[in-house]
A and B are shown apart, each in its own frame.
Chain A
């Protein structure tokens, strides 16, 4: 298959040249951050690092890390590096109170981000003759906006569907002959199932490719979606903290995602010591945004466990590849595409007058996540009627929905009934086989 690139010069640039480009950008970026972000300047001062100590990517390890905790502490403007008059947009993570991250964009930031998404679309075979159906959520979530912008840049006819309303998705897909579908893998699987139920066979579905991300998915799930929709399914990676989807994208080889290295410098570190690990070793993925103006995070710890590889790729791209993340260094769960932290569940329980004795059980039935929370009841809450207890469960499930953005099934259980191993309760049982 002939290879198409959106920005060939960058995507196929010799590695030494990419590294040179990264070094130049890093020096400038560190200076920009040091001068404009007091929060990070303090971190650098505490470490005794000055912008002039950073002369290239070989000095990157001298810089302090940023973590989700820093983002929370600096919320909302603490890491902003440009005056608000230069910013044109925000996006925010799916997390809620206490975990929300707001990222700011200048027009240039939006442009470069859309370029990243355009590279992903072209790598999936997209051209200006394609009809690109964007079924990621639009709004604060980066998924819709990122792929929408990328689709425009490629020149696809863009269907800004947002997520949900599956019947309408299918109607537009067929009536306008959509050729590329962008959404979460679980939604793609749901659309595939709906099409099957409606009697469509893969050859009757106009799609040829899908770009699916924002949640973990397995190789088996990929093959299933590919078979059911009659397409090739490509993975895409990103996080709101660094811009959104398009930090890395998959090519026809489907053996990992090329990192857009001209904009994002990737490192793998030992999550315990912070030490940088050599290429090919498994560790925590860390990103430094080289071009972002408004919200330029340096050495941001993603908490994703990953491996980087410079192995030559048959697609011709020289950009380093990251493997599909193999897990997390923290306790974050991604359920139905939404980030869920056990600490959020604890907050809801305490707010609603429960003890934080609970157990989260996540499973995948078909291609859909199930989400159950067992909660130990307070003795004084116990009533002698079924309606009394189900009303308590409903009220608690509703509080959870408000906090998490997704609806769990809440089950009240007797006090001390949740299994404790070595005195510590097992908080999360994830039965999904995602890694």
Chain B
């Protein structure tokens, strides 16, 4: 099931982020969601794109240090309390989370949440069991 996330190492230099987004734009890669974790020295850019394979190949050719990571994508209702419901499921199942970010689309009345957890399969099973819809790469391509 899984959703592929592209993780890119970014140095804390002026212009390093725009160089990445420019490269992706030139190859017609569309970014669906992103998050950056930053420290004093470096940043970690996490991307959900419409074509992970193409984006990964393009950035690797440019010499970027990157990695494709399996994350869990969940569709949640666009209403107060919906995120909490999903998080409670993980909590009840004792699944630890590393990080989380979310995105919305213009057309659907849903929000999407991207999670990196200790055990993807367990998280997906628990969320599916609780009635959540897990999204995959093909879902993202269609967005």
| Binding between chains A and B | yes
Residues of A contacting B98 in the complex (Cβ-Cβ under 8 angstroms): 384-385, 387
B67 near A417: Cβ-Cβ < 8 Å: no
Q: Is the interface of B mostly helix, strand, loop or mixed?
A: strand
- Proximity bits, A285-326, B CB within 8 Å = 1, else 0: 000000000000000000000000000000000000000000
Q: What's the tally of chain A residues with a CB closer than 8 Å to chain B?
A: 17
A379 at the interface (CB under 8 A from B): yes
Roughly how many angstroms separate A377 CA and B9 CA in the complex, as a whole number? 10
In the bound complex, CA of A387 to CA of B37 (Å): 10
Between B7, B44, B63, B64, the greatest number of chain A beta carbons within 10 A of the residue's beta carbon is seen for: B44
Among residues 60 to 101 in chain B, which have CB atoms less than 8 Å away from a CB atom of chain A?
63-67, 69, 98-99
Residues of A within 8 A of B46 (CB): 384
Interface digits, B21-47 against A, CB 8 Å rule (1 contact, 0 not)? 000000000000000011101101010
**Residues in B neighbouring A383, C-beta threshold 8 A:** 7, 67
Chain B residues near A382: list those with CB within 8 A: 7, 9, 65-67
Contact B11 A384 (CB under 8 A): no
Q: How far is the CA of A275 from the CA of B19 in the complex (A)?
A: 55
The answer to the question of B120 belonging to the interface, with a C-beta cut-off of 8 Å to chain A, is no
B97 CB to closest chain A CB, in angstroms? 11
A10 beta carbon closer than 8 Å to chain B: no
Set of chain B residues within 8 Å of A411, measured between Cβ atoms? 41-42
CB under 8 Å from chain B, chain A span 378-435:
379, 382-387, 389-390, 411-417
User: 1/0 per residue A164-190: CB within 8 Å of B?
Assistant: 000000000000000000000000000
Chain A residue numbers with a CB within 8 Å of B7 are 382-384
A412 to B12, CA, bound (A): 12
Asked whether A384 lies within 8 Å of B64 as measured between CB atoms, the reply is no
B50 contacts the other chain (CB 8 A): no
6 sampled A-B residue pairs with Cβ under 8 A: A382-B65, A382-B67, A390-B39, A411-B42, A413-B11, A414-B64
Q: Which residues of B contact A (CB under 8 A)?
A: 5, 7, 9, 11, 37-39, 41-42, 44, 46, 63-67, 69, 98-99, 116
Closest 8 CB pairs of A and B: A384-B7, A414-B65, A384-B69, A386-B37, A411-B41, A382-B67, A414-B9, A382-B65
